[in-house]
A = this chain, B = another copy of it.
Amino acid sequence: MVNGSANPAAGRLTIAGLGPGALAQVTPEVAAALQHATDVVGYLPYVARAQALWQQAGAAQPVAWHASDNRVELDRAQQALALAAQGRQVVVVSSGDPGVFAMASAVFEAMEHAAPATSAAWQALDVQVLPGITAMLAAAARAGAPLGHDFCCINLSDNLKPWPVISQRVRLAAEADFAMAFYNPRSRSRPEGFVRLLELLRAHCEPGRLLVFARAVSTPDEQLTVCTLAEAAPEMADMRTVVLVGNSTTRRVGRFTYTPRFYGVPADTSSLGSTP
């Protein structure tokens, strides 16, 4: 039986966030984990990004790269757990933050549903999750500060939950006047989800509500579009887009979009007249 915490020769599983794309947005602890890896497991484009980071860090040790397709998260999680249980130093790479609609939950699901013969060993493994810059926060930073007040975060991928759950959550989020961040708004296989989302938002929010469409933030393909709900069109989102919806107080100043910190009380502008 493997116990990673007690036995220095034992394996380790690190679930690491690569951020939205740019290597300059990857934390040093993630880069260090890759330097010490024997095996890197992940979706093909994220493994490619991890290789670039690993080369930049100048790691001397050879690494086995295990790249797989997008739709096999649980297989990937099981593979990573099995390798770590064999004593390997395994890094599972996720884009953004591994805890936000990414690989961390998949690894713990695989651990929970493990076969009886491996269950105890997998639960005893030295498992670490290393956070990363998640897409909505990279997108918000580019736009200004649209998530500067209370907000919620919803995955529109409807193979994970039925549409009525999504629709109910959006309705309640609008009633709560949360700003909202939507991941996976639109894919080739289900383009209609985002059309329905825009209809839902139009039923619950005013036409002047501000939206930010942030595509491939921090990469050479980055595109940022800010518009009102009335101006928004389904084609503005694709698989690489995160969509931010402001709350009722979100506004523009110059080329920036932001949500004030104060809500339902006068802002503390008493100091605004003073000399800085």
Contact = CB atoms under 8 A, between A and B. Distances in A.
B153 A99 contact: no
Interface stretch (A43-51, A192-200, A249-257): A249-257
A271 B115 CA distance: 12
B155 A153 contact: no
Main SS of chain A's interface residues?
mixed
23 contacts: A22-B29, A23-B28, A24-B32, A27-B133, A78-B271, A78-B276, A98-B141, A99-B145, A104-B145, A105-B145, A108-B148, A111-B254, A113-B272, A131-B141, A132-B133, A149-B160, A150-B152, A152-B173, A160-B261, A161-B262, A161-B263, A168-B176, A172-B172
Find the residue from A123, A124, A145, A251 having the highest chain B CB count within 10 A.
A145
A256 B127 contact: yes
Interface string A105-143: 111111111000000000110010111111001101110
B74 A272 contact: yes
A204 to B, nearest CB: 12
Interface in A232-276: 251, 253-256, 258-265, 267-269, 271-272, 274, 276
A253 B111 contact: yes
Contacts of A267: 109
Given A111-B256, A254-B124, A271 B141 contact: no
A79 interface: yes
Contacts of A2: none
Contacts of A99: 137, 140-141, 145-148
A145 B129 contact: yes
Given A105-B260, A149-B160, A161-B262, 13 more contacts: A19-B27, A24-B27, A25-B131, A81-B276, A100-B137, A102-B148, A111-B253, A111-B256, A129-B145, A132-B133, A134-B137, A152-B173, A165-B263
Interface in A1-37: 19, 22-29, 32
Contact of A137 (B110, B131, B269): B131
